[in-house]
Amino acid sequence: MKFKRLYNTEEHRQEVKEALQTGRMGLILRAFFFPKMARAFLVRVLIVILTAWCFFKFICMPLVIQGESMLPTYPSRGFMFCWAPSYWFRSPQRGDIVIMRYGRGTMLLKRVIALPGDTVAFKDGRLILNGKPAAEPYIKGPSDWNLPERTVERNHYYLAGDNRSVPMEAHVFGEMHKRYLKGAPLW
């Protein structure tokens, strides 16, 4: 099979050829970025737009962090991508950072601290997981959280931010159904 349409038109092919022969950067850039409008070029542009839309809408969603609940791991106003395939073939584990859908247009960036069936509690800021204090090297500031023990429901994950210095009442955390899981941050 021949790929005859590397150039949009014969005119475009001549234009590129001349640009490369003369070596003038302006002409090369113009021929590359602003080619003559032709069917092949428009089809390519349409394919690129559709692919990019699908990719950034469903696979790799761009997000801006608002809030300080994941300090110091993620700063407020930080930019990131939510990588959806992360949990297509596996489930989140304790310690994973996940992105959950929180109603239309909003996502929550949290750490999974307990899995379905685990018991979870906070005592003087320490996480008590299945009756034992859990090591959380990612927590930096002081915390005074106290929460009675509870068992995480089936198909739910218990999530919390890394910034436990904020009062417990002001921090959005708790158990959430796995249906809201969207992916993991790309970095």
Partner 1 sequence: MVIRAKHIIWCAVVIVLLAAGGIGLWLYLRPTDENLIRNQFSRLASLASKNTKEGALPAAARAKEMASLFSGRSTFAVDGLDWMAGPFNHEALSGNIFRSRAMFNKLTLSLDDLEPEIDAPNRKAKVNLSAVLSGTLKDGKSIREVRELECHMLKTDDGWVFDSFKVRQIIRK
Number of residues lying near partner 1 (CB under 8 A): 19
CA–CA separation, 164 and 67 (whole Å):
13
Of residues 121 through 180, those in contact with partner 1 by CB under 8 A are 147, 159, 168, 172-177, 179-180
Residue 54 corresponds to which tokens in the numbers above?
């699908």
- Of the pair 28, 174, the CB lying nearest partner 1 is at 174
- How far apart are CB 103 and partner 1 at their closest, in Å? 4
Q: Does 90 bind partner 1 (CB under 8 A)?
A: no
| Residue 140 near residue 72, CB atoms below 8 Å | yes
Helix/strand/coil for 47: helix
For the bound state, the minimum distance from the C-beta of residue 138 to partner 1, rounded and expressed in Å, comes to 20
The residue among 186, 152, 57, 174 whose CA lies nearest residue 108 is: 174
Per the DSSP assignment, residues forming a β-bridge with 111 are: 97, 160
Cβ closer to partner 1: 154 or 179? Answer: 179
Sequence-ordered list of residues with C-beta below 8 angstroms from that of 108, at least 6 positions apart, any chain? 99, 100, 101, 102, 159, 172, 176
- Closer residue to partner 1, CB minimum distance, 44 or 101: 101
Report in angstroms how near the CB of residue 172 gets to partner 1 at its nearest.
6
Smallest gap, in angstroms, from Cβ of residue 163 to partner 1? Answer: 16
Output the smallest distance, CB 15 to partner 1, in A.
Answer: 25
Q: Which stretch binds partner 1 (CB under 8 A): 41-49, 73-81, 85-93, 104-112?
A: 104-112
Contact residue for partner 1 among 2, 77, 104, 132 (CB under 8 A): 104
DSSP code string of 38-100: -HHHHHHHHHHHHHHHHIIIIIEEEEE--SSTTTTTS-TT-EEEEEGGGGTSS---TT-EEEE
Nearest distance in Å: CB 6, partner 1: 17
- SS3 call for 101: strand
By CB under 8 A, name the binding residues for partner 1. 100-106, 108, 147, 159, 168, 172-177, 179-180
